Amino acid sequence: MSEKDFQTNHALPVPVDAMRSILTERKNLIVKIGKDTYEITRPLALELWRMCRDYASTQGFTFHEDCQVLYASPEQVIVKVILKVAREGQVILELTEIGEATAREGKNDTMARTAFTRAMKRLFEKLAGEDFINKVIKTLFKDSIQEAPASEKQKELIRKLLQEGKITKETIAELIAEGKLPEGFILKEALKQGLTYSQAKEIIGKALSK
């Protein structure tokens, strides 16, 4: 049975309104990682997953999840999560999504978890409707989400790149001109306080691309 047929002939085993409520109530577990990019954190993904699984059970559905590592290195992790929805022991829908994370993001010790969370978020989107989570976040949290601060690993890498001369005044000036850093941005001051995840990501990316 296709995904379209499933949505047409069966009540989706996903409590969309309850998911929207949790996203609203747990906005502290959502982070902004770029200008227009938001991520649910692992604790929130697990909470949504438990809610969907428990609700599906009350409707006579069961969820079966399988996570496979497609690629793993010190620089990148890619995972595949397969979700099978069954009723009366028969699989009626199978969804697959990919999640990825890179060391450049500053999450070296949690890349696998980050990749898994991203894959799960994409599965939620398929179950609840295209871009459901992002739409809820943008409408309900646009003014209240605080951008995630730069991680300690990002800061350490930036300091290392500074020492190696790979980050210069010209690097920062280019990023300001491109609109990726605010006017008057001073890296040394930002490193002490106020450097965000997306700013660090842009700086590191620019330095390593040269």
pTM confidence score:
0.56
Phi and psi, residue 149, nearest 5°: -75, 160
The Cα 118–Cα 98 span in angstroms is: 8
Phi and psi, residue 142, nearest 5°: -55, -40
- Per-residue pLDDT tens for 147-206? 678 888 899 999 999 999 999 999 999 999 888 888 889 999 999 888 988 899 899 988
How many residues are recorded in the chain?
A: 210
Would you call 159 helix, strand, or coil by DSSP? helix
Mean pLDDT score, 42-60: 87
Q: How far is CA 78 from CA 72, 74, 83, 201, in A?
A: 6, 12, 17, 19
The Cα 94–Cα 66 span in angstroms is: 11
Structure confidence at residue 66 as a pLDDT band (50, 70, 90): very high
Measured in whole angstroms, how far is the alpha carbon of residue 163 from the centre of its chain?
A: 31
SS (H, E, C) 26-39: CHHHEEECCCCCEE
- Per-residue pLDDT tens for 70-94? 999 988 999 999 999 898 888 888 8
Would you call 187 helix, strand, or coil by DSSP? helix
- Res 107 pLDDT > 70: no
98 and 113 Cβ atoms separated by less than 8 Å: no
The Cα 210–Cα 194 span in angstroms is: 26
Residue 135: partners with Cβ closer than 8 Å, 6 or more residues away: none
Q: Structural domain boundaries of the chain?
A: 3-140, 152-208
| Per-residue pLDDT at 8 | 37
Q: If you ran DSSP here, which 8-state letter would residue 99 be given?
A: E
Phi and psi, residue 173, nearest 5°: -60, -40
Q: Amino acid identity of 92?
A: I
Q: Amino acid identity of 196?
A: T
